[in-house]
Each structure stands twice: as structure tokens, then as C-alpha cells.
Chain A
Amino acid sequence: MDATGPLFAGPPAAHGIHWLAVLAILVGIAAAVLLLWGLIRGRLPTSLQAAAVLLPVAAYGLATVHMMEGSKNPAFCGSCHVMTPILKSLQGNDESLASIHYTRGLVPHESACFTCHSGYGIWGGINAKMAGFMHMVRTLTGWYTLPIALNGPFDINSCLGCHAFAPSFRAVEAHQDPDLQKQLLAREISCTGACHPAAHPEAALTGGSAS
């Protein structure tokens, strides 16, 4: 089987440097030229001072949007040491719940982690970004313990956003049980564990070290 053909490479927009990054670089270059000019000459004409202030801020605004969007990519999540085994497990088709979703194309490949971990709706996205910021703080400071664990219960609405209206999900007898539905919605039980395989294998949560 040849899996190297152009059809398997994904859409063209998924490759190369994103246009937003190019725009931020261009604005950043203009800002750097003005700032260097100001440093070398000692002062800038008043008319250019506003540009020297606004251009770096604009470049940072564009770069921040680029980072917010680009950080949805699983490769970004997996680039930190502690997450690398989880990304490998995701791609390795190891029958964990996350791997099943990823390898069968049940979640978008370019935002697989974000799709399940962001929660449902706009606040889910905002909360995920705040959690991601804390992940960076924890990575930087080493303020975490292995095996890593989810901070709080998993938001079942992330599952229900896709599954709730699927006939195949509704047809399962266990899903129709009123008691089970109450327990699931009250976060007393989770989809994983008793009924479905764990989201990620235990070995992948240890950051690559032996547990």
C-alpha cells in the first residue's frame, strides 16, 4: 500500500507556514526596521513614533492569534516531553478510546486533542486555552506529578456533542437506561472504564518513564 501519494497529504492549507504567520513576520520586520532606526539615530520623527509603538503590538496580536489557532494541532500538544507518549499512542492505533477516534478519522486530525478536551461551546474553547496556558506554566516549572491526570471530571458534553444525535449511539440498549443517563449527566460515572476503553493507555500517562 502506497501511503505517500498527494491524496494522503491532506489539504494544501495544512502545509507550510500559515498566512497569518507570514503577515505577523512582515509586520514584525517593519517594526524591527523602525525600532533599529530609532536606536541607531537616537530618536524617531514624531510621525513614526506611533508606528514604532503600534507595529510591534500589531505583530504580537497577529502572532497570538496564530499561536491560539496553531496550538490546536496534536503535534503542538505532543511537542512537550510529557505529552509525547500520548501523541504516539494516539497515532499508534492501540485501541484506546482516543486512538480509536483518531485513527478512524472520527475527530479532525488537525485538532484532535482540542476537539475532545475543549468542552462544548465557546466557553469550552476559552477554558481550554486557559488550561493550555497553565500546561505551559506547569511544563516550565516542572509543577506536575506522573502519571498525569485530567484536572477535574471529563466534560461529557464533548462526547455528546457528536454522539447524542447519532442513531447508532441511541440504539444501544445501555444508553437508553434512565439510571445510566442520570449518572452520566451527573458526572457520577464516565463513558470510559466500565463500558468503553480508557481514553489514553496508562503507560502513555507517565511521560515515557516507567510508572
Chain B
Amino acid sequence: MKYVACLLALVALAAMVPMLVQLDGETAIIFSFIGLPAVGLALAAYVLARWREGAFHINAPSPGDSARSIAPRP
């Protein structure tokens, strides 16, 4: 998945360069309709890959843990 994200990001960067060198309707369309979706998909693919690796998971305490934490000390 990260491999795909890398490839998509490179495609996006390749679509960006012509627009930066010469801004006209054609390069702006390539940038907007190929580059922007590609960079968005690359980001989504990377986040998905990291999610599968266990990142971004919220380790919320169980109800029992929270009950213990607020219980008055003896």
C-alpha cells in the first residue's frame, strides 16, 4: 500500500511541474484533474497503510478502568 502511495505521489509531482513552469489552461487542467486526485489518493493510501499497521488507533480506557480511576482512595 505504501508502494502505491509513493507511486501516486510521484505521479502527482510529475503533474505539478508543467503547471509551475508554464501556467496555462492545459497544464492547470492536468494539475487539477490528475495531480490533485493523485496526491489525495496517495495520502489516503498512506493513512490506510499506517492504520493497518496499528497507527491512529485510540486506546480508550474500558469503563472499569475509568471507574477505578475516579474511585476514592481508601
Contacts and interface: CB of A to CB of B under 8 A. Distances in A.
Interface of A: 17, 21, 24-25, 28, 31-32, 35-36, 38-39, 43, 52-53, 56-57, 59-60, 63-64, 66-67, 70-71, 73, 75-76, 79-80, 83, 133, 136, 139-140
A63 B32 CA distance: 11
B24 interface: yes
Contacts, number: 85
Contacts of A60: 12, 16, 35-36, 39
B33 interface: yes
Contacts of A136: 25, 28-29, 32-33
Contacts of B48: none
Interface string B1-36: 011001101101100110111011110110111011
Given A31-B9, A32-B10, A39-B6, A56 B42 contact: yes
The size bracket of the interface on B is: 20 to 34
A70 B28 CA distance: 10
A35 B21 contact: no
A76 B23 contact: yes
B28 A71 contact: yes
Counting from the closest, the 7 A-B pairs by CB-CB distance are: A79-B24, A80-B25, A21-B20, A79-B25, A70-B23, A56-B9, A35-B6
Contacts of A139: 25, 29
A63 B20 contact: yes
B21 A21 contact: yes
Which of A28, A63, A67, A133 has most chain B Cβ within 10 Å?
A63
Interface in B28-74: 28-29, 31-33, 35-36, 39, 42-43, 46
